[in-house]
Structure 1
Amino acid sequence: MKHTISVLVEDESGVLSRISGLFARRGFNIISLAVGSTEKIGISRITMSVIGDNRTIEQLIKQLYKLVNILKVQNITNIPCVERELMLIKINATKFNRSYILEVANIFRAKVVDISHNYLILEVTGDPGKIVAIENLLSQYDIIEIARTGKIALIRESNINTELLRTQLNNKKKYVYS
């Protein structure tokens, strides 16, 4: 199962290296990694996606707490969160497919951040599912390059799980229209 781990660390050189070393020694592959400053000076948030079972992830979290400069570690996989990712995608946009690409960009609320005679660069921000969906739609065209950030996430203080609400709403619609 894919887990999302949020780690608050002190801004000191070598922190990320120690964390990635721990993961490497344990045989874990970090699928997604994003690091950035927080609201507090001198503290950064690291958001990682890793694959493992619950027991293994618990052990990994205990090991993370043993590292220097680690302030807080949370497995936020099953906690209602707001998750976002950013993708830049460069596409070969000919006169034959440009309007379709722009239509898809509009539907996904992507921004055109660069345009030339033969290429478009789109900026897409959203939950990881949205990123995968637009990439899949545009994969039928000549994608030249993709750059993606890792997933970032913050826990919802409202404790409302929008994914669960979306699933329930879709199930109600299926029931009504059946």
Structure 2
Amino acid sequence: MHIQDEAVERHVLAVLVDNEAGILARIAGMFTARGYNIESLTVADISEDHAISRITIATNGPPHVIEQIIHQLDRLVPVHSVRDLTESGPHVQRELALVKVAGKGDNRIEAMRLADAYRARIVDASTESFIFEITGAPEKIQTFVALMREVGLVEVGRTGVVAVGRGPNAG
């Protein structure tokens, strides 16, 4: 089987790291140096003493590339653990987006109707535009943004994926 024949899979990785300057650059540099793609990346301090951060990376590639990514991340010194949430079982993933839409008349009414159907919340409004806040699976966000293009999409800001494994154990 040739590499180009392998199925590309999307994986969500949870990486626990020391909360120190430069770790994000080292991880991004590792991806860049090896030609791996980062679909989204989020990072936040998760410990009470601010010593540990959790980096959530959505990436894609054939299974052997995902395995290489995990092994490379695991070798970085300030990395405590790498968990492939996609492989380790059920998990919940969400993303937040702010979506600005401009329009009047029918387009304005349609934007509000679609926002209601997608449970997007109006966080700012003027007589000529709205900013909607929407959370959900990345596919839901993508679909909502595509629909808003048809009624006056101006701008989109997305957080990237955050994910947590289901069940009582920490990952």
What is the total number of aligned residue pairs between the two structures? 159
Counterpart CA distance in 2 for 1:73 and 1:22 is: 14
Secondary structure of the 2:106 match is coil
The percentage of aligned residue pairs carrying the same residue is 40
Q: Kindly state the Cα deviation for residue 96 of structure 1 after the two structures are TM-superposed.
A: 2.5
Task: Answer whether contact 1:47 1:153 (CA < 8 A) is retained.
Answer: yes
Task: Name whichever of 119-128 and 94-103 sits farther off.
Answer: 94-103
Q: Which runs of 5+ in 2 are unaligned?
A: 1-8
Secondary structure of the 1:97 match is helix
Moved over 6 A (4+): none
| Partner residue, 2:6 | none
Secondary structure of the 1:56 match is helix
Q: Kindly state the Cα deviation for residue 146 of structure 1 after the two structures are TM-superposed.
A: 0.4
Secondary structure of the 1:94 match is coil
Matches of residues 10-159 of structure 1 in structure 2 within 5 Å? Answer: 10-41=18-49, 42-78=51-87, 79-157=89-167
Q: Kindly state the Cα deviation for residue 40 of structure 1 after the two structures are TM-superposed.
A: 4.3
Q: Kindly state the Cα deviation for residue 101 of structure 1 after the two structures are TM-superposed.
A: 1.0
Counterpart CA distance in 1 for 2:123 and 2:47 is: 28
Q: Which runs of 5+ in 1 are unaligned?
A: 160-178
Secondary structure of the 1:117 match is coil
Secondary structure of the 1:34 match is strand
Counterpart CA distance in 2 for 1:24 and 1:97 is: 42
Secondary structure of the 1:13 match is coil
Counterpart CA distance in 2 for 1:5 and 1:114 is: 33
What is the RMSD computed on CA atoms of the aligned residues?
A: 1.5
**TM-score of the two chains, using structure 1 as the length reference:** 0.84
Secondary structure of the 1:150 match is coil
Q: Kindly state the Cα deviation for residue 65 of structure 1 after the two structures are TM-superposed.
A: 1.5
| Partner residue, 1:3 | 11
Q: Kindly state the Cα deviation for residue 89 of structure 1 after the two structures are TM-superposed.
A: 0.6
Task: Answer whether contact 1:90 1:122 (CA < 8 A) is retained.
Answer: yes
Task: Answer whether contact 1:84 1:152 (CA < 8 A) is retained.
Answer: yes
